[in-house]
Structure 1
Amino acid sequence: MSNQQKPKKSRIGLIIILILIVAAIVVAVINPFENLSQLLPGQAESTIEVEDGASILSVSVHPVERDDLRSYIKANGNVVDTKTVDVYPEVAGKLSFIDVQVGDILTVDQEFARIDPSRPGMNFRETVVKSPVDGTVLAVNFAYGASVSPQAALIRLGMLDSLEVEVAIAERHIGQVGIGTEATAEFKAYPGEQFSGTVTRLSPVLDPVTRTREIGITLDDPEKLIKPGMFPSVIIYTEKVEDAIVVERSSILYDGNQAYVYVVDESNIAKRNDITLGLVVDEKAEVVEGLATGTMVVVQGQTLVTDGASVRIVD
């Protein structure tokens, strides 16, 4: 029985080998995968075409333009009142009366609390605590019945006429920010609205832990919409270049430290242009030397281009 099965298995193996050989010949001659990229949606078509025996690369170009560039620093800030007054009691004792809460407005000499300095076996008259200035209550540190002393402030008053946004900037940026540097702030409470301002305060020292420098920004707020404790997103503008020759950052290639782009002439010949870069902001780069306005720069396909190659411009 086993002797009869051996020739049968040999024939099956031979048939399989013949099928594989025929399949290989079909693939080599017909190449059914030649148009596979056209059958699969989302696959990029080849950018290389052959014309008269020469390879032509399809590229996208964009003319060199002039524009204004402005570098910036993004940070988060905290709105604080720069003019605050801490009110301390004159005597130690128990807080027998307090009639104030955060947000209340006090006028000068307005009574808001009383302290009972009495001790066991000794009774004293209550001491009245009054507001020393006109202001808004920003913090209440003690509640009724608490023991207080002249070493701890009862409340904090703010003038609310001199608000400031405190921002901590990294050490690497401190040379770019000075008094008068322009800035803008946005608040979640007012979506789509920008508040402009300037840097009005620079800390003389850096935080030794975070290696940051605290700066103060004063914002224009004629309608008094900004409140202490708000948390804005801040943009600090550092360097500005007007009417600069600008190219897309993605179009720039590098040969070592040398930056260059490919430009296309009227004959659709790509040529390498070495350039000197200036200010770079987001996806735009200033070209200080090496390009003129209107020059067509390759912005897509530049990594496949060689100097002197023929190209086909596509949208």
Structure 2
Amino acid sequence: MFFMILGVGGFLALLIGWNMLGKYMAGQAAANMTIPPQTVTSTRVVSEPWQGEQKSVGTLRAAKGADLAFDVSGIVTEVKVKSGAEVSEGQTLIELNADDLIAERRRLEANAALLKVDLERARQQLAYKGISQAEFDRAKASLTAAEAGVSQQQALVDKRRLRAPFSGRVGIVSLTPGRYVNSGTAVLTLQQLDPIMVDINVPQVQLGEIKPGQTVVLNLEAYPDKPFIGAVTAISPKIDPATRNVAVEASMPNAEDLLRAGMFASVAIQVGEPQTYMTLPQTAITFNPYGETVFLVKHSGKKDAKGKPEMPTAQSVFVTTGVTRGDQIVVTSGIKDGDEVVTSGQLKLKNGTPLIIDNRIQPPNNPAPAPQEH
């Protein structure tokens, strides 16, 4: 019995010793294991001006626009404008047949000219008491009535001429001489596009920050690399009860003639005074339930056994973030200007991971990125 107990005890001692030896060997292996380096991109933290913005969308419309029509019906005799032409206020664009009206106007003009001669003769006779004052007054009234008839007839002639009510650009001209036009039918579009207006809808909660004169930056898919700069010109005095939005109007210079009425645009209204913030690409931030972190690139300044500089290592730090702008994000604490921060590849990092910095391809860091067509 004694030898049995002794044998069992020896076996247990051997088992415990073997287990301890295994743990020791594993610890030694772990201690000697090196963390493989990881390739990442990095950037330096810089403070830069930051302009607060209220973003929305807008629709462009002409500063002045009209679908032109005749007040009367008639046959087109002359089209004096081409499609897309620039015209001046008062310029004749299209004429209808007015031969009969012009002939009647000439008859009335001749009659008025005769009455004018009669009035001058009556004036001379009145000076010599050759006629009474009443006869002179009748001659004067006859001339006035005749001249009014000429003006009335000229107005009828003018209704056969379609004139530009303001300077601008005409649309597509499809009329040709000989075509019959009904009164009230739109025959031509005229729009004034410089400046061009932008209609913007802004949530009521943002109303207190928006004022006339503030800068408006416009981005369009048609010109992804070209922002357009304008200004707020008016704010509607009422709020739409259905959407709780307020209408804001902006004016945009269009001297290059790139903007067209009806275009859809992304709008940023600059509000408040410019501030200076530390910024990073949004890809540099790791968002966790317990807070936001970034990986700093730490250079030891030491050299290895071969005399080469040691590889930099990763160090995780907590940061406090703020507002975003395009691809960028504000960092208010946790880092400082000049710190080198990992901008991509941080998912495979932990504290102490050796880093290979490869900045040939950087993540986007544009404060105002434009949508890309695919």
Q: By the TM > 0.5 criterion, same fold?
A: yes
Q: For residue 108 of structure 1, what is the amino acid of its counterpart?
A: G
1:10-67: CA deviation from partner (whole Å, max 9, x where unpaired)? xxxxxxxxxxxxxxxxxxxxxxxxxxxxxxxxxxxxxxxx985245253445432223
Instruction: Specify the SS of the correspondent of 2:329.
Output: strand
Higher Cα Rg, which structure: 2
- Unaligned runs of at least 5 residues, structure 2: 1-28, 99-152, 301-311, 358-374
In the other structure, the counterpart of 1:298 is 342
Q: What are the equivalent positions in structure 2 for 1:69-88 lying under 5 Å apart? A: 69=50, 73=55, 75=57, 77-78=59-60, 80-84=61-65
Local SS of the residue matching 1:82: strand
Does residue 220 (structure 1) correspond to residue 220 (structure 2)? The answer is: no
Instruction: State the structure with bigger RCO (CA 8 A, min sep 6), 1 or 2.
Output: 2
Secondary structure at the aligned position of 1:294 is classed as: coil
Partner of 2:329: 285
Shift of 1:250: 1.8
Question: Residue in 2 aligned with 1:199?
Answer: 232
Alignment of 1:1-315 (within 5 A): 52-56=31-35, 58-59=37-38, 60=40, 61-69=42-50, 73=55, 75=57, 77-78=59-60, 80-84=61-65, 89-90=70-71, 94-97=73-76, 99-100=78-79, 102-103=83-84, 105=87, 107-108=89-90, 110=92, 112-114=94-96, 128-129=158-159, 130=161, 131=163, 133-136=165-168, 138=170, 144-149=179-184, 157-158=190-191, 162-169=194-201, 171=203, 175=207, 178-179=211-212, 180-184=214-218, 188=222, 195-203=228-236, 215-222=248-255, 225-226=257-258, 228-229=260-261, 231=263, 234-238=266-270, 242-256=275-289, 258-267=291-300, 270-306=314-350, 309-315=351-357
Q: TM-score, normalised by structure 1?
A: 0.56
TM-score (norm 2): 0.49
CA RMSD of aligned residues (A): 4.7
In 2, Cα distance between the equivalents of 1:133 and 1:246?
Answer: 52
Which sits farther off after the overlay, 201-210 or 52-61?
201-210
Task: Please list every run of 5 or more consecutive structure 1 residues that lacks an aligned counterpart in the other structure.
Answer: 1-49, 117-124
Distance 2:198 2:268 in 1: 12
Comparing both structures, which one devotes a greater share of its residues to strand? 1
8 Å Cα contact 2:315-2:352 kept in structure 1: no
Distance change in 2, residues 1:217/1:134 (3 Å)? closer
- Mapped to 2, the partners of 1:258 and 1:266 lie a distance apart of 25
**TM-fit CA distance, 1:287:** 0.7
1:201 to 1:245, Cα distance in 2 relative to 1, 3 A:
same
- How far did 1:275 drift? 1.6
* Aligned-partner Cα distance in 1 for 2:346–2:257: 50
Say which structure is richer in helix. Answer: 2
Query: Structure 1 vs Structure 2: percent identity of aligned residues?
Result: 15
Name 2:137's counterpart in structure 1.
none
Q: Distance in 2 between matches of 1:195 and 1:250?
A: 28
